[in-house]
Structure 1
Amino acid sequence: MNLNVALNSKALLAPRTGIGNYVVELAQALQQDPGLRLQYFYGLRWQDTLATAAMPGYSSWAGAVKRALPWAYSARRIVEQRCFNRGARKLHPDVYHEPTLWPLDFDGPMVMTLHDLTHIHYPQTQPKDRLKEIERRLPSALGRASRILVDSEFIGKEVRQQFGLSGDKVVVAPLGCSTIFQPRSADQLAVRLQAMGLGYRRFILAVGTLEPRKNLLLTLRAHARLPVALRARFPLLVVGMPGWQADEFSGALSEAVSAGHVRLAGYLDQQDLACVTAAARFLVFPSWYEGFGLPVLEAMASGTPVIASSSASLPEVAGPPPSMSILGMTSGWRSICNA
């Protein structure tokens, strides 16, 4: 007897980042079980196949709708719930898995994944309407969920304490990374690196949405303290889309970019991200708050050294690093670059 699983896959409509990658990897793993039958919900429609590419222009028009329409989040929620109900009546899912903070109403068992509590620690990173919806709906969703998956022990503890949940309801399920993140030789990466204007082991990598909690300013300051010759020899490659208060970095970035010491790659798909991760001299990841910190695991799987902070969940992923000041970080960078 097959178990019908409804998986909310709306995150795949936008260019794939953290939750989108989570959905893809989860779905591909579940597809290997012959006893499971997956049905994917994409916000307005259901499919029995996993989306392989983002919807063209989704991020732009979705953002425009949110800005133009008052109560956009509430209105979208009503429409999505109706579409979800229509499909659920026809497909009869046995269990519904929600990988975000926004579980839809469902009469049967519901499993949700709570990746982090950024909306609590950094509420200013959320649009006011969205934050209001999260605060209104999340407590009841946690009450309805049969199980709540979290990516790390750190987040599990936060969730239990914040919402008073019993220990057996919160299940720690640490993340893995895609097999495309693996060590690769200079020859294997030569063509792609040449197209990107990069040299094998000749750049420092920083990955993450450009927002304050990722602590990019510390990365820029540490890189700026390197001798000019080392900055020219090992430029800093910043991979990630602009996020909340990205303009905070504009001054430091523009000067370093003009000098050729920092390069902004923007969003990279998984293939290009795997390439630069395997080719970097090292990854620097001094984030203040992470539910897991997947770029750290991806770098380690690629055989690339990592300099990370000891904040939040990161010691679980990489092991507890020593406390390090900006001077200590710069010293560490110099020793790796000169190795």
Structure 2
Amino acid sequence: MQIALNARVLQAPRTGIGHYLAELVTALRHEPDLELSLFHGWGWNAALPEAAMPGYSRLTPWLRQIPGAYQARRWLEQRRFDNGLPKAIDLYHEPSLWPLAFKGPTLITLHDLTHLHFPATQPPARLKEIERRLSHGVQHARLILTDSQFIADEARQHFSLPSERFVVAPLGVGARFHPRSDETLLPTLRPLGVKPQQYWVCVGTLEPRKNLSLALRAHGQLPEAVRQRFPLLVIGMAGWEQGQFSDALRKSLASGHVRLLGYLPDEQVAHLVAGARGLVFPSLYEGFGLPVLEAMASGTPVILTRRSAMPEVAGDAGTYIEPDDVDGLSQAMARLIDDHVYWLHCREAGLQRAKLFSWQRCASVTAQAYRQAMGG
């Protein structure tokens, strides 16, 4: 079976969808009856592109201001897609938002409905295109893959589609996320002035739905000596300006109690997650919550909210807090610092929970969806 995959998102710095697609393509290559052709936005190639670093922009800021820029780029991409499309393609898989036009069977992955709940996360022109095209793409797809049952149920209700149109393919965890010895962690941690299990980590693009302000405020409630010993490291692409921080948070940044590390290479992120006392993930909305799974697989306890799809990932292995409970989060962090037996229990529970997820399982479910869509 010849599958066309739109891999244009891999030209951008890797966040959730980029990691999903890279891992999925790698795992799908083990399916014996599939052959993949990847569309890179300007041409076709069988190889995965290298991940871009920050500074890449799908549409440069000045170009975003030109009326019709998104439509023009989409038209150009469609022309490139059509001109290079291999003739033997049986099915087209769009892994992000809305598919390009294709005469044969189409399958789409719908990771979440963030644009409905948090429209400010998208540039206005792009949001308009999403609203215009996504509904059409979902309605015409033979099947819709989702990362979680939560998103399948939400999308089914929003788009008024029958449940049989949806296939849930839970994500997996990359091989780089695993427990690591203190000796292997030190080369990464020493330049940052932190020690294994003596810092907290937050992972995610700095945007309001990630609710990282709760983590910053909760960490700020810990005693000064504790904050000094257990700083909070925030990993993610920029989205906030420091001018929006309160005076107390700016003071924490100045003191080193909170550190904004920005976007980091994948291997460095894996080391920092494995070495942390815990992952603080107070997000308001997730289609899956990949950092939660990655932390559990690394032997790092997780504090998270019982929102959207995240309980499907963490199960009973997570420590849950309310998304507006600063005191509750601060107390949960203090317990994981003070109660080593509880910390060990959370670590082991997370390791066992993470074993339920794999990219090969995700690929197997996806491959079966391809076969089902072809039969439909």
Q: Same fold (TM over 0.5)?
A: yes
Please name the residue that 1:34 is paired with: 32
Q: Which of 163, 170, 185 is the equivalent residue of 1:167? A: 163
**Runs of 5+ unmatched residues, structure 1:** none
When the two structures are superposed, what TM-score results if normalisation uses the length of structure 1? 0.94
Change (3 A) 1:247 1:32: farther
Q: Is the 2:185–2:275 Cα contact (8 Å) retained in structure 1?
A: yes
Change (3 A) 1:64 1:292: same
Q: State the alpha-carbon separation in 2 of the partners of residues 168 and 161 from structure 1.
A: 13
What does 1:1-339 align with in structure 2 at a 5 Å threshold? Answer: 3-54=1-52, 57-59=55-57, 62-88=59-85, 90-243=86-239, 248-249=244-245, 253-319=249-315, 321-324=319-322, 325-338=325-338, 339=340
Q: State the alpha-carbon separation in 1 of the partners of residues 35 and 256 from structure 2.
A: 51
Report the alpha carbon displacement of residue 87 of structure 1 after superposing the two structures with TM. 1.3
Q: State the alpha-carbon separation in 2 of the partners of residues 58 and 263 from structure 1.
A: 24
Aligned residues: 335
Change (3 A) 1:216 1:53: closer
Q: Deviations over 1:155-187 (max 9, x none)?
A: 011000000111111111111110110011101
Report the alpha carbon displacement of residue 153 of structure 1 after superposing the two structures with TM. 0.8
Q: State the alpha-carbon separation in 1 of the partners of residues 100 and 93 from structure 2.
A: 10
Q: State the alpha-carbon separation in 2 of the partners of residues 229 and 214 from structure 1.
A: 27
Q: Percent identity?
A: 52
Q: Is the 1:283–1:305 Cα contact (8 Å) retained in structure 2?
A: yes
Q: State the alpha-carbon separation in 2 of the partners of residues 214 and 239 from structure 1.
A: 12
Q: State the alpha-carbon separation in 1 of the partners of residues 61 and 217 from structure 2.
A: 35
Question: RMSD in angstroms over aligned alpha carbons?
Answer: 1.8
User: Match of 1:111, as an amino acid?
Assistant: L
Q: Deviations over 1:202-237 (max 9, x none)?
A: 110011111111111111110000000000000000
**Runs of 5+ unmatched residues, structure 2:** 341-376
Higher relative contact order (CA 8 A, sep 6+): 2
User: Match of 2:328, as an amino acid?
Assistant: G
Q: Is the 1:115–1:291 Cα contact (8 Å) retained in structure 2?
A: yes
Q: State the alpha-carbon separation in 2 of the partners of residues 183 and 104 from structure 1.
A: 41
Corresponding residue SS for 1:78? helix
Q: State the alpha-carbon separation in 2 of the partners of residues 244 and 126 from structure 1.
A: 14
Change (3 A) 1:180 1:255: same
Corresponding residue SS for 2:185? helix
